[in-house]
């Protein structure tokens, strides 16, 4: 029988406690499945006195996660502290420096420092595993890096922030405004301490940056993501999109193009009948497309103690079984730079504007769009209210720069009441 695998767990929030609970409850099963006993040597958190609903007295305690990472009785450092810098990164670096494997759920750290951490790990012969960093309980890291290893990945796409999807579906279901739903979600504790991480799309973009690297063999490039949050999504747009057969989702898309890596995280329209369109509430969905496999869709809980702890356990069990491999699917030193490609691929767009009640207003808008090379697939004008008529347009496929020209020209017509809303319609 092999030696036990000895863990040091840093960070005892709901996920950390969830991991401790699974390791206890399923000890026998884990040993049967991995062929090895998995034990906790020591734990670390900020407040030793806090009641976490689980007895920790049988484990050594360290106030300092770096000290935990360095302990001789810790083989694997499990980092569940969070934060892109600070103690989480210090402790991971300390573990790697001593040749210890790392399991982490820290998307921010990997999105910002993944490349240097991976290089350090691979120099030392260590692994960094991070299934829990992206899409909670959904095994997207394992699927991309192992199950689809025979594929050239052509596109990665998905809804990766459950809080945003909850808010968007709640607006739709209850007819509430963004501000109302934001207050509600914040009150329910659904948002990060800094809500901008959620509603600004940053958390989801961290995840997309990690998936892109794995999918395309490029260095993690968070800064290269075209990023827009959901703050400007209005109930009017949700209603109008529904009227045209679409749902609005905060959608991440990564795609390798001839010009470089296209990475976008922004509110998009998707057909209401598509799997992404049908995704309700806090659930996550990842769509993976490969040249051989076609399209694989993974759906599941994107957050929460149980699902995230399940993903952490997947990594721990892999290490116990001796499953190793490069951090981002290929040797970190061989990863290519991800040249950001501004999204120049043509797409259909949804436009919503308020026309002033003037004769010939619609004709002017149509003329301006036509001059900019924007052809109209579908158009609806609704009855006037307050001297303005809401107009919805779905364009044929155009480039973003054609669209921008058309929007600028429209502003000069003096018949459009405010800046039109323009949202990309994603092909799913």
Contacting residues toward a second copy, per CB under 8 A: 18, 22, 26, 29-30, 32-35, 131, 137-139, 142-143, 145-152, 217, 275, 278, 290-301, 304, 306-307, 309-314, 316-318, 321-326, 329-331, 334
Catalytic residue, from 70, 89, 107, 207: name it: 207
Nearest approach, Cβ of residue 272 and a second copy (Å): 11
107 noted as active-site residue: no
Task: Between 169 and 395, name the residue whose CB sits nearer to a second copy.
Answer: 169
Distances, alpha carbon 263 to alpha carbons 283, 287, 294, in Å: 22, 14, 20
Nearest approach, Cβ of residue 54 and a second copy (Å): 14
H or E element: which one contains 203? helix 202-216
> Which SS3 state, helix, strand or coil, does residue 156 take?
strand
Q: What is the DSSP string of 344-382?
A: -S-BEEEEEEEEES-TTHHHHHHHHHHHTT--EEEEEEP
Task: Between 86 and 294, name the residue whose CB sits nearer to a second copy.
Answer: 294
> Which SS3 state, helix, strand or coil, does residue 174 take?
helix
CA distance 402 to 341: 17
> Which SS3 state, helix, strand or coil, does residue 184 take?
helix
Task: Between 82 and 290, name the residue whose CB sits nearer to a second copy.
Answer: 290
Task: Between 65 and 329, name the residue whose CB sits nearer to a second copy.
Answer: 329
Report how many helices (DSSP H) and strands (DSSP E) the chain contains, helices first: 14, 16
Angle (nearest 5°) at CA 129 between 125 and 133: 150
H or E element: which one contains 251? strand 246-257
Torsion angles phi and psi, residue 19, rounded to 5: -65, -45
Q: Which long-range contacts (CB under 8 A, 24 or more apart) does 44-52 make?
A: 44/8, 44/9, 44/10, 44/11, 44/12, 44/68, 45/10, 45/11, 45/12, 45/13, 45/16, 50/12, 52/12, 52/17
Spatial strand order of the sheet with 60-62 comes to 60-62, 38-44, 5-10, 76-79, 101-104, 128-129
Nearest approach, Cβ of residue 242 and a second copy (Å): 16
Nearest approach, Cβ of residue 322 and a second copy (Å): 7
Task: Between 26 and 234, name the residue whose CB sits nearer to a second copy.
Answer: 26
Task: Between 34 and 395, name the residue whose CB sits nearer to a second copy.
Answer: 34
Task: Between 62 and 315, name the residue whose CB sits nearer to a second copy.
Answer: 315
Nearest approach, Cβ of residue 310 and a second copy (Å): 4
Task: Between 82 and 329, name the residue whose CB sits nearer to a second copy.
Answer: 329
What angle, 0 to 180 degrees and rounded to 10, lies between the N-to-C axes of helices 400-411 and 361-371? 140
Nearest approach, Cβ of residue 141 and a second copy (Å): 9
> Which SS3 state, helix, strand or coil, does residue 140 take?
helix
Nearest approach, Cβ of residue 35 and a second copy (Å): 8
Q: How many residues does the chain have?
A: 428
Alpha carbons within 13 A on the beta-carbon side of 410: 28
Assess contact for 232 and 201: CB atoms under 8 A. Answer: no
Show which residues are catalytic: 207
């Amino acid at each position: 029988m092999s030696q036990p695998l000895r863990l040091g767990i840093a960070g005892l929030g709901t996920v950390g406690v969830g991991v401790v609970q699974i390791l206890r409850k399923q000890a026998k099963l884990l040993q049967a499945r991995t062929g090895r006993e998995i034990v906790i040597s020591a734990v670390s958190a900020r407040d030793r006195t806090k009641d976490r609903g689980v007895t920790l007295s049988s484990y050594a305690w360290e106030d300092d996660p770096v000290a935990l990472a360095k302990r001789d009785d810790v083989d694997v450092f499990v980092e569940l502290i969070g934060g892109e810098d600070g103690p989480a990164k210090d402790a991971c670096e300390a573990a790697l420096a001593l040749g210890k494997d790392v399991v982490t759920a820290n998307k921010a750290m990997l999105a910002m420092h993944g490349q240097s951490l991976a290089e350090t790990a691979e120099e030392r012969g260590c692994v960094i595993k991070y299934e829990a960093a992206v899409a909670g309980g959904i095994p997207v890291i394992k699927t991309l890096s192992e199950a689809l290893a025979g594929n050239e990945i052509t596109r990665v796409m998905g809804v990766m922030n459950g809080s945003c999807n909850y808010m968007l579906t709640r607006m739709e279901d209850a007819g509430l405004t963004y501000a109302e739903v934001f207050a509600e979600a914040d009150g329910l504790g659904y948002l990060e301490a800094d809500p901008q991480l959620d509603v600004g799309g940053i958390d989801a973009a961290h995840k997309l940056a990690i998936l892109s690297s794995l999918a395309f063999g490029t260095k993690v490039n968070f800064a290269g993501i075209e990023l827009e949050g959901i703050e400007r999504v209005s109930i009017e747009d949700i209603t109008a999109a529904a009227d045209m057969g679409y749902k609005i989702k905060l959608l991440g898309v990564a795609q390798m193009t001839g010009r470089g890596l296209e990475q976008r995280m922004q509110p998009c329209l998707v057909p209401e009948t598509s799997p992404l369109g049908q995704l309700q509430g806090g659930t996550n969905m990842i769509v993976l497309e490969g040249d051989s496999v076609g399209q694989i869709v993974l759906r599941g809980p994107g957050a929460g103690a149980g699902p995230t702890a399940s993903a952490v356990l997947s990594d721990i069990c892999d290490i116990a079984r001796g499953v190793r491999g490069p951090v981002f699917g290929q040797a970190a030193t061989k990863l290519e730079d991800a040249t950001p490609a501004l999204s120049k691929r043509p797409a259909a767009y949804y436009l919503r504007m308020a026309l002033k009640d003037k004769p010939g207003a619609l004709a002017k808008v149509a003329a301006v769009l036509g001059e900019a090379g924007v052809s109209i697939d579908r158009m609806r004008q609704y009855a006037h209210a307050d001297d303005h008529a809401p107009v919805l347009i779905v364009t044929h496929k155009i480039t973003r720069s054609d669209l921008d020209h058309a929007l600028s020209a429209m502003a000069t017509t003096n018949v459009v009441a405010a800046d039109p809303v323009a949202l990309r319609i994603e092909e799913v």
